[in-house]
Chain A
């Protein structure tokens, strides 16, 4: 039995909008795995454990604070771990399933804390998706929510062009997830969103092989037809009756100037993750951008002239 086959829990780690909800629904369709909608438990544990340092390097956080009160770091982690695991364990038990899995899209912002909390006690499904598609999809999410979630605040403050902010967030997360997987090679499975939507059953079979489980294509149909476990997560996946690759490559529609800026941010990490770097077109003369702007204004008159009104930017995706 491999190490990932004997772990109590399975954690899905991926940047927000990288297919975590789709994967959550697929995992939950397995007769032996229970993966509830986003519980936020591990992200909350991450926030609970997060520590800051003074200029002198003194840690200020719960682990340090409780240590002064006589509670060892391992004691605190052990109690918190039991709390976090117990919710998922009980949920799985209620579903009559042997294993639990957890996915919350923002867990990936707390990798060091998840490392401290879970270590080799869990198997990790590390999701990857093209960074520019992720950035476009996060932008869509924020527009839909009318808010930037807490974990994105620093990025939006540092990079006022929001797609650049989200590209930076993706780059940090993707790099972090790669490093996390490398430090837990026997417990981590790298899974590409693009593979999952192109060949869901073949990809799930590989994942299940890693987890020591089997996969039947019936589970895919069950995942998409199930209405039993609605909850927090990506809203669009619930409107899909099939898995397709229509959300792959939407970034290609971004304006050339934006693409050049995003390529600079994302290309090193895209290559690290095995994606083709984004080709940057030669810089165009300023009159070309002005002309596009002018034509864009003229095109406004066509709105309502029998076309489906659609805002510029990324198209709706079937899932994160």
Chain B
């Protein structure tokens, strides 16, 4: 497991989802703004699971956990801390 950090996540957003990392900070809404659609978000979730070893349970699939880079990283950190 490689773990997941901000740079890795931003690289994925850029290379795989075509987003400009210069326009994204930790609190930029991804899904609620329409920047990322549901197909891309599904891909992002699976990528995060593979990179971090953290699994999203059905109740974890929420905007609170997924809508920004910061929220995703905090969710993963919280799960790793368990």
Interface residues of A (CB under 8 A from B): 249-250, 252-253, 255-256, 288, 291-293, 295-296, 298-303, 305-313
Whether the Cβ atoms of B39 and A253 lie closer than 8 Å is yes
4 closest Cβ contacts across the A-B interface?
A308-B34, A252-B18, A312-B39, A307-B32
Chain B residues near A303 (CB, 8 Å)? 38
Chain B 18-54 per-residue mask, 1 if CB under 8 angstroms from chain A, else 0: 1000000000000111100111111101100110000
Whether the Cβ atoms of B46 and A288 lie closer than 8 Å is yes
Chain A residues near B9 (CB, 8 Å)? none
Q: How many residues of B contact A (CB 8 A)?
A: 25
Whether the Cβ atoms of A292 and B43 lie closer than 8 Å is yes
Whether the Cβ atoms of A253 and B42 lie closer than 8 Å is no
Nearest chain B CB to A308 CB, angstrom units:
4
Whether the Cβ atoms of A291 and B49 lie closer than 8 Å is yes
Whether the Cβ atoms of A255 and B43 lie closer than 8 Å is yes
Instruction: Say yes or no: is B78 at the interface (Cβ < 8 Å to chain A).
Output: no
A255, A293, A298: residue with the most chain B Cβ atoms closer than 10 Å:
A298
Interface residues of B (CB under 8 A from A): 15-18, 31-34, 37-43, 45-46, 49-50, 56, 58, 61-63, 66
Q: A253-B17, A302-B61, A312-B38 given; name 14 further pairs at CB < 8 Å.
A: A252-B17, A253-B39, A288-B50, A292-B42, A295-B56, A296-B38, A299-B61, A307-B32, A307-B34, A307-B63, A308-B32, A308-B34, A310-B34, A312-B40
Q: List 13 A-B contacts (CB under 8 A).
A: A252-B17, A253-B37, A288-B46, A292-B45, A292-B46, A295-B46, A295-B56, A298-B58, A299-B61, A302-B61, A302-B63, A307-B33, A310-B37
Residue of B nearest to A287 (CB): B46
Whether the Cβ atoms of B63 and A306 lie closer than 8 Å is yes
A291, A299, A303, A310: residue with the most chain B Cβ atoms closer than 10 Å:
A299
Residue of A nearest to B61 (CB): A298
Whether the Cβ atoms of B46 and A299 lie closer than 8 Å is no
| Cα(A255)–Cα(B43), bound, Å | 8
| Cα(A249)–Cα(B15), bound, Å | 10
Nearest chain A CB to B34 CB, angstrom units:
4
Cross-chain contact of A296 among B15, B33, B42, B56 (Cβ < 8 A): B42
Whether the Cβ atoms of A305 and B32 lie closer than 8 Å is yes
| Cα(A211)–Cα(B42), bound, Å | 49
| Cα(A255)–Cα(B17), bound, Å | 10
Whether the Cβ atoms of A302 and B37 lie closer than 8 Å is no
| Cα(A311)–Cα(B37), bound, Å | 7
Nearest chain A CB to B13 CB, angstrom units:
11
Cross-chain contact of A313 among B39, B49, B62 (Cβ < 8 A): B39
| Residues A306 and B46 in contact in the complex (CB < 8 Å), given A249-B18, A253-B37, A312-B37 | no
| Cα(A288)–Cα(B16), bound, Å | 16
| Residues A291 and B46 in contact in the complex (CB < 8 Å), given A249-B18, A310-B34, A313-B39 | yes
